[in-house]
Structure 1
């Protein structure tokens, strides 16, 4: 058996739930005095599955703590059965977990769990994203007055934006801070949650609706600073420029923005 054929046969064995090795694969192996071929293959098969479950437990620690070992492993095993690992890096194993939860469970169960999966995956994406070149207060201080009206921005590569309809952040914090796990509850009003990495640390915070709308306009609708002020004027009147500068300073200090060069 050539190496490529052997690799494919071994892969087929690992992915086979029944863990049955074909005769050619078994015939290519040599047992030892204390470990026969069948036992050795079974160890590999069990270790492979255990490693995949371990990765999902680490990537979705809050859901694991929420559901408990048995229920989480049942959910994760069903996910792996429907969406087996297809990337050479286990980093991407949980990419489809949120979508699977929405498909697999009834809406009453899936909605809060899927939102938590999206939240936990957002932290993974933020942590692994390129650093980018976030603006600093020092950068802003060098801008000439005539540059401000047309100034435009884009998000740093690690910025993730979620709309939370449940108290997912409270549940997430309880696990990370090792406090009592609260009951899941729907929020009276959905809120925007930002997750990003700044100086090697993942950060998060919620935005009220006004700030979320302003930042969305800046990053997703292409507003310039002048357009930001004009839109805020509807609510804040003559105080709009001050509010715009206040939020902009906060976003820059948080390390959320890069300058968009046209």
Structure 2
């Protein structure tokens, strides 16, 4: 048996418990193969436990273990690093717990935060560079780690309570989805719920809308005084949270209508 064939049989045994593949390695290899397989699965369970600690706390050790075993049997590792193994675990939980959708959403929160650790770094904008910007034509660039997570249950409230070691609320479906903004500020992973207006503003700006066009649309929708105050509040918050990493005057930026109107 060639080394490549042996490696393939070993993989098939570990992943699928392929008895034919095990048989090709000889009867004497049987006890050792069982040990290898147990170690392989135990390592994957530990990987999921460390990545989804709040999910485990919510559903309990036994339910989490059974979910982890099902995931290991149906989704073998496909990356060079175990850090990526949990990427599909929320989807597995969604399939297993259709009557409890908050479970998969809590796991999605944990996955989102973990992925922020390996997101690309972004520079911090210097406030002194804000002078002399033509805000009517300014185009904002946001941190590469910025992402949105849409939740249809009160998973964020449950997750927050678990983090604070408080009694979590009873799970419930939301009347309207809640959007949570995730980003990395320096070495800290950050997240906060945002309302529909801020979410739409961020989506428009990230797609290339000029800051001036956003201001015009928001003031038309909310009124001049309230619109200016709201956009100014957003800008200050985005800058202090290090969400904005660059601002440039783009004279090719074409004003367009946002989804506010």
Please classify the TM superposition score into its range, dividing by the shorter chain length.
0.7 to 0.9
Which whole-Å deviations, capped at 9, do the CAs of 1:177-209 have from their partners, x for residues lacking one?
A: 222233212234432211111110111111123
C-alpha separation in 2, matches of 1:189 and 1:135: 35
Aligned-residue offset at 1:236: 3.3
1:80-99 map, 5 Å: 80-99=72-91
Aligned to 1:66: 58
Aligned to 2:119: 129
C-alpha separation in 1, matches of 2:127 and 2:152: 33
Question: Does residue 230 of structure 1 match 2:216?
Answer: yes
Could you say if the C-alpha distance between residues 174 and 26 of structure 1 is closer, same or farther in structure 2, counting changes exceeding 3 Å?
Answer: farther
Aligned-residue offset at 1:213: 2.6
Whether the 8 Å CA contact 1:127–1:158 is kept in 2: the answer is no
Unaligned 5+ runs, structure 2: 251-261
C-alpha separation in 1, matches of 2:126 and 2:104: 35
C-alpha separation in 2, matches of 1:203 and 1:52: 27
Moved more, 75-84 or 181-190: 181-190
Question: Does residue 206 of structure 1 match 2:198?
Answer: no
Question: Does residue 118 of structure 1 match 2:104?
Answer: no
What is the TM-score of this pair, normalised by structure 2? 0.84
Q: Aligned pairs, how many?
A: 248
Aligned-residue offset at 1:20: 7.5
Whether the 8 Å CA contact 1:163–1:193 is kept in 2: the answer is yes
User: What secondary structure sits across from 1:152 in the alignment?
Assistant: strand
C-alpha separation in 1, matches of 2:247 and 2:84: 30
What is the TM-score of this pair, normalised by structure 1? 0.84
C-alpha separation in 1, matches of 2:236 and 2:127: 7
RMSD between superposed Cα atoms in Å: 2.4
Aligned to 1:51: 43
